[in-house]
Amino acid sequence: MTRQIDYRLARRAVLREWRLGKIGKSEVCDAHPELVRAARHLGEETAQDCPICEKSKLRLVSYVYGDSLKAANGRCITNQGELDRLGQNCDEFACYVVEVCTECNWNHLTVSYLLGRRHAG
């Protein structure tokens, strides 16, 4: 079983602060242009509407980081097969999944977890 860190509570807190007017839209809709591009072209569409603009479905983008990844370090992963191959060839790396709205640039880290041979099983 993969251990993961879930960021739903942090997400709820940010959305609550935004709805109460304590933080502005520019502070929550600040996705980097490269993240939005990755979401648009490589991200996996979800059934969930954007919590800010409610105009677009959220897209999930996964990135991997780890010293043993070499050239793949910091890459956007487009499918489970890629993750599986990296997991078989590397001792350990982290995967970060970010939800992104390509309409208003909302983005939030949703989950992170460790993969690789050390975590197989």
Q: How large is the average pLDDT for residues 87-92?
A: 91
The model's pLDDT over 29-50, given as tens digits with 9 standing for 90+, comes to: 999 999 999 999 999 999 999 9
- On whether the pTM is more than 0.85, the answer is yes
DSSP-assigned letters across all residues of 56-115 = SEEEEEEEEE-GGGGGGTTPEE-SHHHHHHHHHH-S-EEEEEEEE-TTT--EEEEEEEEE
The tens digit of pLDDT for each residue in 48-61 reads 999 999 999 999 99
What residues does 97 pair with on adjacent strands?
A: 62, 111
